[in-house]
Amino acid sequence: MTINRKVQTLDEFTLQQLRDFPLATGELSSLLRDIGLAAKRIHVEVNKAGLVDILGDTGSTNVQGEEVKKLDVFANNQMVGVLRHGISCAGIGSEELDDIVVFDDETSNKSKYVCLFDPLDGSSNIDVNVSIGTIFSVFKRVSELGKPAIEADFLQAGSNQVAAGYIIYGSSTMLVYATRRGVNGFTLDQSIGEFTLSHPDMKCPETGKMYSVNHGNFFQYEERVKKYITACQMKDSTNGGPYTQRYIGSMVSDVHRNLIKGGIFMYPGILDKPKGKLRLMYECNPCAFIVEVAGGKATNGQMRILDIVPTKLHQRTAFFTGSLKMMEELEGYLDGTLG
């Protein structure tokens, strides 16, 4: 068998992008390579999770009041470490940490980017061998370069993201990242230890057959959401239902599948948590950015996710994202023109 296609690694790809844009400084490429390094280290630990004493709880809870698993801590430390020691990031915000971390050294203060991340999304799946992921979001600072980053650098609307991405630790490990120019996916080739371009210029299919939602919460959703979910199960759904229900419990995995196959993911508000569970800055903004660049949509049910101006680092939001036509159908149910 002859393989004609040249294999392009993540580093080669980002360098090629630099060549195409001679005015670029290379800072974003360098930051992405740092994240790629953290991803490889997390991949190694995730893959030996059953062999060593790394599974299970640390016994502490994070700022969200959720149990912190050991791999969450490891993943968080790797992300903070590579970004702190790299030369392209002035500070970070992490779902696992109460406050932003400003690196505040001469090199970091000159960096124009800050990064927000969920080091291990879907951590309740760690102990049961189900896909989990790392999600990240990159903003250009609004504060003066040469000085330490400030909170306002992080509290920006998602539409200001310059890049966003995720890494899935699944049947293979894959890094997907988006800039305004497009979404590209790289699969970890373990034989050379490099992420290689496997899914160039990813586009979210206009429609699909899958819907992802926690059905256990059904009776706590507002009526219009219930109507849409019921429509997903009906034959007369405008996109040719009934749809198939898939819900992994790692949003990043559900969003990834829907990005490739088409579909819709929902985490609506529930009675006692009207803003749902997911965090705007660490989970929803980056996924919304990626899905929109790929041609899909993302809203909180009332407005575009990327237009929300955050007031708090750890704020939550209801989240609906996926294929364009499925999202339009959902919006019809939410605004009362359908159903």
**Least Cβ distance, residue 86 to ligand AHG (angstroms):** 25
Sign of CA dihedral 319, 95, 114, 184: negative
Of 266 and 293, CB closest to ligand AHG: 266
**Residue in 224, 167, 182, 184 with CA at minimum distance from that of residue 41:** 167
Q: Which residue, 107 or 124, is less far from ligand AHG as judged by CB?
A: 124
Asked if residue 207 lies in contact with residue 324, where contact means CB atoms within 8 angstroms, the answer is yes
Q: Tokens 């490429």 identify what position? A: 29
Smallest gap from Cβ 197 to ligand AHG, in A, equals 26
Q: Which is nearer to ligand AHG, 66 or 189 (CB)?
A: 66
Nearer to ligand AHG, 249 or 332 (CB): 249
- Of 237 and 250, which CB lies nearer to ligand AHG in the complex structure? 250
In SS3 terms, the chain reads as: CCCCCCCCEHHHHHHHHHHHCCCCCCHHHHHHHHHHHHHHHHHHHHHCCCCCCCCCEEEEECCCCCEEEHHHHHHHHHHHHHHHHCCCCCEEEECCCCCCEECCCHHHHHCCEEEEEEEEECHHHHHHCCCEEEEEEEEECCCCCCCCCCHHHHCCCHHHEEEEEEEEECCCEEEEEEECCEEEEEEEECCCCEEEEEECCCCCCCCCCEEECCHHHHHHCCHHHHHHHHHHCCCCCCCCCCCEECCCCCHHHHHHHHHHHCCEEEECCECCECCCCCEHHHHHHHHHHHHHHCCCEEECCCCEHHHCCCCCCCCECCEEEECHHHHHHHHHHHHCCCC
Minimum distance, C-beta of residue 321 to ligand AHG, in the bound complex (Å): 11
Residue 26 or 249 having the CB closest to ligand AHG: 249
Question: Nearer Cβ to ligand AHG, position 239 or 253?
Answer: 253
To the nearest whole angstrom, how small is the minimum distance from the Cβ of residue 253 to ligand AHG? 8
- Cβ atoms of 321 and 255 closer than 8 Å: yes
The least distance separating ligand AHG from the CB of residue 173, rounded to whole angstroms, comes to 17
- Taking the complex as a whole, the smallest distance from the CB of residue 248 to ligand AHG amounts, in Å, to 7
Residues interacting with ligand AHG, by CB under 6 A?
66, 121-124, 214, 249-251, 277
Name which of 29 and 253 has its Cβ closer to ligand AHG. Answer: 253
Cα 88 from Cα 94, distance rounded (Å): 17
What's the min distance (Å) between Cβ of 267 and ligand AHG?
6
> Nearest approach, Cβ of 249 to ligand AHG (angstroms)?
5
Cβ count within 10 A of residue 104? 12
Amino acid at residue number 279: R
Our CB check for ligand AHG shows the closer of 134 and 239 to be 134
Please state the closest distance from residue 257 (CB atom) to ligand AHG, in A: 12
